Amino acid sequence: EAALRERLVSISDELLELLKDEEIEVRDAALGAAVAVMPLLEDKSAEQVMKGVKEEQYNKAGERPRDSEFLARHLGPLLVGRGGPVDDGTWDYFFPHAEKTPESDDADARWACAFNLPGILRAGGKARYSSLIAPVVEALAKDEDAFVRAQVAKSLVGMATEFGARDSAIHVVPLLLTLLKDQAPEVMVAVAAGLRELCPLIAPKGIPDSACAERMAGAVCRFIGSIQGQHTRWREELNAVEALGQSVGCFTGPVVQGTVLPALLHSMGSSPQVALAAGTAFVRYLRESRSAHLRVDMCNKLGREFCRSPLFSKRLLFCRLCVVVLEHFSRQFFRIVFADAVLELARDPVPMVRCRACALLPMLKRCLRLPTGDQTLLERVKTALDTLRQDKDRQVAAAVALADEGMREAGLRQGEKDPASEERLADEERVHGAPLDRKVSGLSLGGGLHALGQMPKSSTASKIHKSPAAGGAPKAA
């Protein structure tokens, strides 16, 4: 340990010499090295290095403009290395440099300052933010250069981490709302990329703030709406949709029902990657919901708009979502609500949809209550598979071969308990009432949709027309 301390003192002395070097690349490398070793140095050595940085780069930044850029880039980590928040003397040394950066003509220096905002915040502490740091952040967020604004957007995650949820609602959310309206492509990419981490940081589970959550959800959903239909912006839409998926449990019930779920439903009509992410998030929000009415209404929407859609891409998505439903709901819920839909899609005119539905048949068999019950449904599953065996499409034939293997495995494992499914069933019965079979016996996405027993007749669910079960599968797009 003593040898390490001696070596660190020697390193700090060498850094002080290198900070005076005539070559700018050497000075920049020395500054980067100072950032790396600062947390390891004892107070005396650290103060000497800070003093050397001030004398050799901060004071000469006007004479050596590129040093100004380097210092701006390293300022945050350098101050953080001192174990921020820093003392007033250290802060007074360096903050004036950052304070003047938004006025600089050097876009690289402004970008570097935006890059270091989380470090500057940690060094300055929350107490210095409102009066000293906030004006710098706000100026950079309105910078004329889109790359600077984009870097501010990237720094929001670090700032939210430093602030915590409650203070982020005050200081970070207004910045995010402003940047979400920015139409510059660079800013849109940066904002969307950070949303997945930002949403849970700003509106975490267990700290309900309906006003903040409503503003956040509304802004993100408006952002999604503003880029939907723009094929070059699908990655940004995907990031925003995944951000909503990461925020399950972070928003209040009215926000979910009135803002989040409609936006996700709309995104389920976007590109395949976005649609699957939106559908997965949609199912997760339904699982989290404690409203039986909402679950019924949204399940009916899935039936109307996807299971019986004239677009085969939506029917295909419905098949993929059935797997997601099985992961988040009980076997009983899937059997009661989705069995008819799966069997109908096994007769779909589009081979790709039939393939997907065929893959679901073994999963459906595992949901049956055998050998004591569901014998009629088992016969329907076997009949559907027998019909698919006569299919002349080669892809369907391959899917049937895999399904046969899955059916045999399901038969061997029949009767095995699934603790996770049992736990989900108990929760569903708390929401819908017990027993689940009676409470949701009228809700089937295949053979005509009906509301739960406790649903009012005026609800959306009670007005759903019959599915094409009696008249054949929907026609392909």
Give tens-digit pLDDT for 269-290.
999 999 999 999 999 999 999 9
* pLDDT at 23 (0 to 100): 83
As for how many domains the chain has, the answer is 1
Residue 113 lies in a domain: yes
Note down the domain range covering 108: 1-143
Supply 400's token pair.
Answer: 């049937």
Poorest-confidence range of 288-292, 302-306, 350-354, 454-458?
454-458
Q: What pLDDT is attached to residue 309?
A: 92
130 located within any domain? yes
pLDDT at 297 over 70: yes
Classify residue 465: in a domain, yes or no.
no
Rounded to whole angstroms, how far apart are CA atoms 422 and 413?
16
Average pLDDT, integer, range 317-332 = 94
CA-CA distance, 145 to 108, in Å (whole number)?
A: 10
Residue 45 lies in a domain: yes
For residue 157, being part of any structural domain is answered with no
Instruction: State residue 246's pLDDT score.
Output: 87
Q: Which of 21-35, 60-74, 384-398 has the highest mean pLDDT?
A: 384-398
Query: Is residue 318 in a domain?
Result: no
pLDDT at 445 (0 to 100)? 66
> Would you say residue 378 lies in a domain?
no
Query: Do the domain assignments include residue 245?
Result: no
User: What whole-number distance in Å separates Cα of residue 344 and Cα of residue 445?
Assistant: 10
What's residue 179's pLDDT? 94
Q: What pLDDT score does 118 carry? A: 87
